A and B are shown apart, each in its own frame.
Chain A
């Protein structure tokens, strides 16, 4: 489970650019992991991320020490003596300690295999058979993707049309202003294929094929004096909508984990690192139950 890109980054980092390293030269080091999203403003947090990204990196790190002992020694000491980051929101420190949530390949491996950093502490790991396991394919998923690949601009006929629409939406241009834009002849309706807000809305509806999950419902409730109306959405529809979004695919986590910092202390960060998430796992799936629910 050694992640080569991490190791390359780490080695490049440790060996530096030939010149003797000092803390003042730290800004020259890459502050972004090549395969992860978050950027690290401080070198300590970045190195911590690289080190904890995979348990095997400890071995690599140890083997590097003999070649680069002085600088690496400093580096390790600096890491060890560094206090725990206090502000979670503004500082990527604790987030960087996670065993790589932003690398999809490692995340998917962890579906079957629990990230094991506890062997050093001699603690027992629970393992849930079938946690995050797949039970089938989504109908129409392949078609959806092939359509997207065949015509990435759909329903717009060109990238220009898409860009103009996103400029309208992101700029929060009002509907009347958009209509004005076309009626005054500023826009080239032929090149973008829509000439009014109404037609643009049709395009936008096409862009969000799961909007049927988010229908609004109206309810009435009596408070003893009068009847009050209120509006709500189907809860399950909302959950389905969020789980179905391709945009979140790389950030989705299904399998639980236990995370530890280098000194063996348990870290609770994301939902799937909590004990609660472990307790919830379906330890055993009865085939009849699956068939029954699928048939429904």
Chain B
């Protein structure tokens, strides 16, 4: 789901890792059907240059790159950190306002899945 993607709409040689998000509250039959559009593009991560494992500076740079990606994820998911414990009201499609502590948790679960795929 998060394979390296060429951004052809830009200059052609741009590459990025897409991260997708969806919510578990939608039944999986609907969520996973191609036309449902229940999966949103959450972000495009920067792709660091490829480095060899042999040289010491390269190894160091690989580590830095890994931490950089973690920072990016932390920034993207920062809004969930606050909400996960307290909860927020969210407008639902049935016209009712639901208390959403559990939703945000579910959201973060989905994101962690995506994280695993990316990592």
Residues of chain B within 8 A (CB-CB) of A240 are 90-91
Residues of chain B within 8 A (CB-CB) of A145 are 95
Residues of chain A within 8 A (CB-CB) of B16 are 230-231
Asked if B68 and A253 sit within 8 Å, CB to CB, the answer is no
Partner of B42, one of A222, A228, A235, A282: A235
- Beyond A235-B80, A254-B25, is A230–B91 a contact (Cβ under 8 Å)? no
Asked if A138 and B40 sit within 8 Å, CB to CB, the answer is no
Asked if B72 and A219 sit within 8 Å, CB to CB, the answer is yes
Partner of B99, one of A271, A277, A285: A285
Partner of A236, one of B22, B88, B95, B101: B88
What is the total number of residues of chain A having a CB less than 8 Å from a CB of chain B?
61
Residues of chain A within 8 A (CB-CB) of B104 are 236, 239
- Beyond A223-B65, A232-B43, A239-B103, is A142–B95 a contact (Cβ under 8 Å)? yes
A221 to B17, CA, bound (A): 15
A150 interface hit (Cβ, 8 Å): no
A-B interface contact total, Cβ < 8 Å: 175
Asked if B93 and A294 sit within 8 Å, CB to CB, the answer is no
A280 interface hit (Cβ, 8 Å): yes
Minimum distance in angstroms from A207 CB to a CB of chain B: 13
Residues of chain B within 8 A (CB-CB) of A236 are 79-80, 83, 88, 104, 107
Asked if B26 and A252 sit within 8 Å, CB to CB, the answer is yes
A109 interface hit (Cβ, 8 Å): no
- Beyond A135-B99, A230-B44, A282-B99, is A252–B107 a contact (Cβ under 8 Å)? no
Given contacts A233-B41, A249-B93, 20 further A-B pairs with CB under 8 A are A133-B98, A138-B97, A141-B91, A214-B40, A221-B71, A223-B46, A228-B46, A230-B44, A234-B79, A236-B88, A242-B22, A242-B38, A247-B93, A252-B25, A254-B25, A277-B106, A282-B87, A289-B86, A289-B87, A293-B99
